[in-house]
Amino acid sequence: MNDLRSLPSVDSVLQSSTGVRLVKEYGRSLVVEGLRETLDEIRTSYRQEGKKVPNLDVITSRTERLLQHWTKSTLYPVINATGIIIHTNLGRAPLSESALKSIAKVGGGYSTLEFDMEKGKRGSRLDHASELFTRLFDVDGALVVNNNASAVLLALQTFAKNQEVVIARSQLIEIGGGFRIPDVLTQSGAALVEVGTTNRIHISDYEQAIRDETAAVMRAHRSNFAFVGFTKEPALRDIAEVSHAANLLMIDDLGSGALLDTAPYGLKHEPMVQESLQAGADLVCFSGDKLLGGPQAGIILGRHDLIQEMKNEPLARAIRADKTALAGLSATLLHYLRGEGEEKIPVWQMISADRASLHERAKDWQKKLGKGTILETLSKVGGGSLPGETLPTYGLALEMEHPQSYLKALREADVPVVARVEDERVILDPRTVLPHQDPDLIRILQITGASDERRS
């Protein structure tokens, strides 16, 4: 009897031993949905293609595959062998061990998020990381929000809504992902007044643009492209001076915002938070997950009364930071406070990794793998900081017949690996591979695409 009458009912499959196991694993309603879909498909292919009706084992295993597919997370860890340290598509900054611990502790239970333990009554979530910022910098106010895009939006909306903001034409940037300075200004309700030319801006351009309707002068850091050749932009100190002479706020969107100097590592100097404040910026905005090396967050530093005004905006509530981000950020800031940023924060460990140790690791991979050549190549900082700047590194280069399909195979491995192709070779850069990932990386390289190796 091989017709549709032999097809079991949903109920009878649920009562089978596999059915019981699936319900335990996936929950009843999802299993019922999966079974219905599987049985429907079987009916359709019986009627339309005359296919046989399968037995119970086949039905349950098809249902299980469907359930696995439906419940597979789309967000999972990967090994970053690209050599791009702050890789926005791969989640920017990996967190330090103590940031992770702190997130687990705060996230896994109740916390003082909005509770003042001393007074035993309501406190403010906005105070947690803020104290650390005021300890780290010469500033008496700090506000942490969801990300830097929202930080800039909040600053502009609070202080420049229905008024004008003066900004250099050379800084009307798009950083990707839909963040464009002119659009953010429009969104905040402020009118954009651009000054200077694309390549040259003089301090007098600012002076001439300021009028009664002006609320603020803004600077945006050109995070992702180089400004070279016949170019000129006034120093931040001079822009701040002109702003203050006209009683205007000077808002600095630093983008990445470094807390440590990048120059000692052979990189260009990325503008630092402390420099902005010293130069006279009234509000300095930057990201938590770029060079700071913490979780996603937007930070605004400035005078206490200005910060207070921003806190009172309804928008501040809409873009508030989550408790786990606040916990991770505070733990990351403590590394700076203790002077151990370079040793403990992964982004800075990677930036400061010395060439000898990178060479060692690439050689170790080569030895364990028994193939590939060691290549002098370049890592990048990435993530909207230091455009075009590179760090010399050693990569393992694999000669492949089809490098792009090898990359795809690496992405599909059980621990996915993201690498890059250079001159038709697959390059793996140890700088961005966390040391504990080495065994997985070697294993994946051993089992992936061995047949694709180019015969020399």
Ligand X SMILES: *Cc1c(COP(=O)(O)O)cnc(C)c1O
List residues binding ligand X (CB under 6 A). Answer: 147-149, 152, 175, 179, 220-221, 223, 253, 255-256, 287, 298, 384
DSSP for 15-61 reads HSHHHHHHHHHH-HHHHHHHHHHHHHHHHHHHHHH-PPPP-HHHHHH
Positive or negative: CA dihedral 328, 332, 334, 335: positive
Q: Are 381 and 433 in contact (CB under 8 A)?
A: no
| Residue 233 or 253 having the CB closest to ligand X | 253
Q: Tell me the closest approach of the beta carbon of residue 94 to ligand X, in angstroms.
A: 16
Cβ proximity to ligand X: between 4 and 235 the closer is: 235
Which tokens in the block code for residue 417?
A: 């690996």
CB of 353 to ligand X, least distance (A): 24
What would you report as the CA-atom Rg of the chain, rounded to the nearest whole angstrom? 28
Helix then strand then coil, in percent of the chain rounded to 5, is: 45, 20, 35
By beta-carbon distance, which residue lies closest to ligand X? 255
Q: Which residue is it, tokens 């860890």?
A: 77
Residue 67 or 93: the one with the smaller Cβ distance to ligand X is: 93
Closest CA to 426 of 375, 367, 390: 375
In angstroms, give the least distance from the CB of 183 to ligand X.
Answer: 12
Cα–Cα distance between 441 and 434 in angstroms, integer? 10
The residue (of 64 and 253) whose beta carbon lies closer to ligand X is: 253
For 354, residues 6+ apart whose C-beta sits below 8 A from its C-beta are none
DSSP per position, 301-340: EE-HHHHHHHHTSHHHHHTBPPHHHHHHHHHHHHHHHTT-
CB of 332 to ligand X, least distance (A): 14
Least CB distance to ligand X at residue 380 (A)? 15
If the CB atoms of residues 280 and 387 are measured against ligand X, the closer one turns out to be 387
Nearer CB in complex with ligand X: 276/393 = 276
Nearest-approach distance from CB 347 to ligand X, in angstroms: 14
Give the whole-angstrom CA distance, residue 273 versus residue 277. Answer: 6
CB 7 to ligand X: min, Å? 53
Q: Which is nearer to ligand X, 183 or 261 (CB)?
A: 183
Q: Any idea of the CA torsion for 241, 242, 248, 251, to the nearest 10 degrees? A: -70
